[in-house]
Amino acid sequence: MMGVRFAVVVVLVVFGVLDSFSLAANVTYDHRALVIDGERRVLVSGSIHYPRSTPEMWPGLIQKSKDGGLDVIETYVFWNLHEPVRNQYNFEGRNDLVKFIKLVGAAGLYVHVRIGPYVCAEWNYGGFPVWLHFIPGIEFRTDNEPFKAEMKRFTAKIVDVLKQEKLYASQGGPVILSQIENEYGNIQSHYGSAAKSYVQWAATMATSLNTGVPWVMCNQPDAPDPIINTCNGFYCDQFTPNSKNKPKMWTENWSGWFLSFGGASPYRPVEDLAFAVARFYQNGGTFQNYYMYHGGTNFGRTTGGPFIATSYDYDAPIDEYGQVRQPKWGHLREVHKAIKMCEKALVSTEPAVSSLGQNLEATVYKSSSVCSAFLANVNTQSDATVTFNGNSYHLPAWSVSILPDCKNVVLNTAKINSVTMRSSFSNQPLKVDVSASEAFDSGWSWIEEPVGISKNNSFAKLGLSEQINTTADKSDYLWYSLSTDIKGDEPFLENGSETVLHVDSLGHALHVFINGKLAGSGKGSSDNSKVSLEIPITMVPGRNTIDLLSLTVGLQNYGAFFEKRGAGVTGPVKLESQKNSITVDLSSGQWTYQIGLKGEDLGLSSGSSSQWLSQPSLPKNKPLTWYKTTFDAPAGSDPVALDFTGFGKGEAWINGQSIGRYWPSYTASGQCTASCNYKGAYSANKCLKNCGKPSQTLYHVPRSWLKPTGNTVVLFEEIGSDPTRLSFASKQIESLCSHVSESHPPPIDMWSSDSKLQKKGPVLSLECPSPNQVISSIKFASFGTPHGTCGSFSHGQCSSQNALSIVQKACIGSKSCSVQVSIEALGNPCRGKTKSLAVEASCH
Ligand code: GAL
């Protein structure tokens, strides 16, 4: 019998049918941890949202997550992708949730499926399909029958899809956890007593679906049993679940923060992130998830907001393009290994906390057979030296040391052994195929989008209508058009009458055309989406047309009653002659409406249509213009982006696929810092870069969307640009750097393989990022007191003569190399000082 079963398994493995999960696992929990098949587990998780990359990228992202030390991959489920029309489901391409889960499972990792179905996530309308808003009597996220019916139907649908594919651990699949709702606790006070019954209902509904694995609710202090309430935030070490029977879990550790159009780029130093992670496990946590581990891209019109940028890079350990971000990824990998070295102790007992002085804390996990300890210095300024178990330990400010054997420090969160990479984007012009296009010299052709009403499904209405109720979000664009007759004797025509038009809009952006000409534009911001315009205009005798093009930039995704936050020109709209102090309110006039653009109806984004023009000459800097060209893919397989520097605002498509909204003319406001002090509590606007520059110029074009030749790019430019300036940018790694001090512990791998290595002390290691590269030169090496960061290292007062030649000898011509950071290996340029080795190398 055993033999037959073995043979079957072998056959299945050989044919790739069987992935790492096939035997049902029993997932439960107790007060310390998730318990998988009877064993408590210490787990490290990371968020990757499947539609924010491509199926072609998924295997690489999953592998890099596994190599980075993750056990679990978490994703939300995006209702508006899967059910764009009620009862019509889409699980294809980037929406292929099942394929994504299977790939994670095949890599041997677990999955946490956060169904929501409200997800927030900087995603359009928080993940809700806009049709939901039009169901009679509906109120979102409260004890409302129509809403509950839809939420239950979709949640049950997803659970059913997963069950059909046997994806739950209880069925032998990788899914060990599910989430219902999302941070409802943050806003529930706005919903009165109905909130409590809604939470109760959601919990019962979820558990009744019998997934066989636990459910969580995040930021939900009153999550009913058996649902685990979990923590979201930059730090969760002080969190306690609402029952002594539930484990301490952290579902969102924000690895950075999201970017908005008009905002600066947030980044979170890895020393602080590592500190937060270590503090969590130190204080009894056993499950932690990076939000995001790979952020990716908000393709198409999927961004929420309003004003969420197309890039969702998030300063995550894997960057938007799918490449590891160093030293973030590498340092966290070391942190994960250090924590895993403590797993046995962590799961076998309760933490024992003791003070080692003010802001100094030791936590010991000790059972009869194992002992692990964490020593923390939570002081934001001063380093400390503490005595623990009779030994002395140096603890830098805002750091945790991890001692898997209660004696040796294998890692301190503030001491980075990992490499840093210095990269830059290099540009190359679009290789436009002039012959493939009917266009002449430039290779570009174009179509003008008509100003005002041009489609025959336009309609007239008295007064101003709210935008989302009008468009149902079928398009970003809504035209409001009004004709008004101005008689010869009216004050608005007089010379010097100083006529202005006032327009008030709920947002998110607006272009005003008077008699077919762009007269002014306005935009809101992520803080305040409203637009209030006052523009000088010139009227002519007789008929005048006022055309307002109002547009949304991602629908609200957060807050109580977010679905009621409207958009568009709700008024007033007024004409005023400032000289004569006469005002005419146009708000209640007969407005004509057009939903969307003519070019959208014609399907121009695909590049087809016979209407593309190529003569007489390419119009430039012209508002409302569609552009198209054919081009060759940039050589190689490196990730690429389109560089929209100098463009206005619009959307772009490659071979019919939208790479998202572009808006480089929106520059970043905010307070940037030249360098970020990782010590002390992090917050979303603590560390910003790029102030005063466009929030986003580079837009990811997934390689799999490109063919070697004959690619079509289509742009719709609202404001005006020169399409021939469009170029491709690709990321080049210029240098590999590392800076390791004599006080650093040796790299973790050396501990686990050779326990004696501790005497040899720290090691500086370099490894070229691509498998076919070797280290070709050492641009800088100094042992002593070097200053600066990768690309700007300089020698300090103390500097050994021979560090450069030692490093050159050890590294040049090899794919990777290691150098002992010690006076024995490198000489002693100055006595009595802690020295460090800084190296910058390049690979070819
Ligand atoms: C959380 C939310 C996530 C995401 C995050 C910010 O509050 O649960 O979905 O929006 O904030 O990136």
User: How many Å from the N-terminal Cα to the C-terminal Cα in the chain?
Assistant: 56
Nearest CA owner, ligand 1 atom 10: 121
Is residue 437 within 8 A of residue 785, CB to CB? The reply is no
The yes-or-no answer on residue 449 being catalytic is: no
What is the C-alpha separation between 402 and 298, in angstroms, rounded?
Answer: 37
DSSP string, 627-679: EEEEEEPPSSSS-EEEE-TT--SEEEEETTEEEEEE-TTSBPBS---SS---S
Nearest CA owner, ligand 1 atom 4: 121
Measured from the Cα of 120, ligand 1's closest atom is 9
Nearest CA owner, ligand 1 atom 11: 121
pLDDT in tens, 500-559: 999 999 999 999 999 999 999 999 999 999 999 999 998 899 999 999 999 999 999 999
Mutate to test the pocket of ligand 1, among 75, 217, 558, 685 (most ligand atoms within 8 A of CB): 558
Q: Residues enclosing ligand 1, CB less than 6 A? A: 119-122, 182-183, 232, 252, 258
Q: 589 alpha carbon to ligand 1 midpoint, in Å?
A: 42
- Nearest alpha carbon to residue 737 among 708, 702, 767: 767
Q: 32 alpha carbon to ligand 1 midpoint, in Å?
A: 26
Q: 181 alpha carbon to ligand 1 midpoint, in Å?
A: 12
- Please state, as a whole number, how many other Cβ atoms lie within 10 Å of the Cβ of residue 692: 10
Measured from the Cα of 76, ligand 1's closest atom is 9
With bands split at pLDDT 50, 70 and 90, how would you rate the model's confidence at 23?
confident
Mutate to test the pocket of ligand 1, among 74, 252, 253, 315 (most ligand atoms within 8 A of CB): 252
Measured from the Cα of 558, ligand 1's closest atom is 10
Measured from the Cα of 257, ligand 1's closest atom is 12
Whether residue 442 has pLDDT greater than 70: yes
Measured from the Cα of 218, ligand 1's closest atom is 8
Tell me whether the omega of the peptide bond preceding residue 31 falls within 30 degrees of 0, making it cis: no
Whether residue 747 has pLDDT greater than 80: yes
Can you say whether residue 253 is alpha, beta or left, with left for phi > 0 and alpha for psi between -120 and 50 degrees? beta
With bands split at pLDDT 50, 70 and 90, how would you rate the model's confidence at 617?
confident
Which DSSP state fits 303? Answer: B
pLDDT in tens, 386-398: 999 999 999 999 9
pLDDT in tens, 115-147: 999 999 999 999 999 999 999 999 999 999 999
Whether residue 580 has pLDDT greater than 80: no
Whether residue 369 has pLDDT greater than 50: yes
Nearest CA owner, ligand 1 atom 7: 183
Nearest CA owner, ligand 1 atom 3: 121
Exposed/middle/buried for 307, CB within 10 Å: 0-12, 13-18, 19+? buried
pLDDT in tens, 295-307: 999 999 999 999 9
Whether residue 8 has pLDDT greater than 70: no
* Candidate list 150, 183, 361, 717, residue with the active-site label: 183
Mutate to test the pocket of ligand 1, among 76, 216, 229, 291 (most ligand atoms within 8 A of CB): 291
Whether residue 760 has pLDDT greater than 90: no
Rounded to an integer, the average pLDDT of 434-453 is 80
Mutate to test the pocket of ligand 1, among 120, 294, 556 (most ligand atoms within 8 A of CB): 120
Rounded to an integer, the average pLDDT of 330-343 is 97
Mutate to test the pocket of ligand 1, among 79, 119, 122 (most ligand atoms within 8 A of CB): 122
Which residues, 6 or more positions from 788, have their beta carbon under 8 angstroms from its beta carbon? Answer: 794, 838
pLDDT in tens, 222-257: 999 999 999 999 999 999 999 999 999 999 999 999
Which percentage of the chain shows pLDDT scores above 70? 95
Tell me whether the omega of the peptide bond preceding residue 224 falls within 30 degrees of 0, making it cis: no
Which residues, 6 or more positions from 381, have their beta carbon under 8 angstroms from its beta carbon? Answer: 397, 679
Nearest CA owner, ligand 1 atom 9: 121
Q: Given this model, what pLDDT does residue 6 score?
A: 44
Q: Given this model, what pLDDT does residue 731 score?
A: 86
Q: Given this model, what pLDDT does residue 490 score?
A: 76
Q: Given this model, what pLDDT does residue 756 score?
A: 62
With bands split at pLDDT 50, 70 and 90, how would you rate the model's confidence at 610?
confident
pLDDT in tens, 47-67: 999 999 999 999 999 999 999
Q: 179 alpha carbon to ligand 1 midpoint, in Å?
A: 14
Number of Cα atoms under 13 Å in the Cβ half of residue 360? 16
Which percentage of the chain shows pLDDT scores above 90? 87
* Candidate list 83, 181, 252, 840, residue with the active-site label: 252
The yes-or-no answer on residue 183 being catalytic is: yes
Q: 748 alpha carbon to ligand 1 midpoint, in Å?
A: 33
Q: Provide the mean pLDDT of the chain.
A: 94
Q: Given this model, what pLDDT does residue 578 score?
A: 81
Rounded to an integer, the average pLDDT of 105-118 is 98
Measured from the Cα of 186, ligand 1's closest atom is 7
What is the C-alpha separation between 164 and 171, in angstroms, rounded?
Answer: 10
Q: 130 alpha carbon to ligand 1 midpoint, in Å?
A: 20
Q: 235 alpha carbon to ligand 1 midpoint, in Å?
A: 14
CA torsion 225→227→233→235, rounded to 10°?
70
Measured from the Cα of 121, ligand 1's closest atom is 9
With bands split at pLDDT 50, 70 and 90, how would you rate the model's confidence at 757?
low
Whether residue 758 has pLDDT greater than 80: no
Host H or E run for residue 573 = strand 573-577
pLDDT in tens, 77-92: 999 999 999 999 999 9
DSSP string, 203-270: HHHHHTT--SS-EEEES-TTPPTTSEEEEEES--TT---SSTTS--EEEEEESS---BTTBPEE---H
Backbone angles phi, psi at 547, to 5 degrees: -115, 120
Helix (H, G, I), strand (E, B) or coil at 555: coil
pLDDT in tens, 269-324: 999 999 999 999 999 999 999 999 999 999 999 999 999 999 999 999 999 999 99
Q: 522 alpha carbon to ligand 1 midpoint, in Å?
A: 28
Measured CA to CA in angstroms, residue 749 lies from 37, 67, 92, 444, 775 at distances of: 28, 13, 41, 55, 22
Helix (H, G, I), strand (E, B) or coil at 100: helix
Backbone angles phi, psi at 41, to 5 degrees: -125, 140
Nearest CA owner, ligand 1 atom 6: 121
The token pair at 198 is 């809604």
Q: 475 alpha carbon to ligand 1 midpoint, in Å?
A: 25
Q: 122 alpha carbon to ligand 1 midpoint, in Å?
A: 7
Measured from the Cα of 291, ligand 1's closest atom is 12
The token pair at 144 is 């409302």
Angle between helices 194-207 and 145-164 (to 10 degrees): 20
- Total-model pTM: 0.95
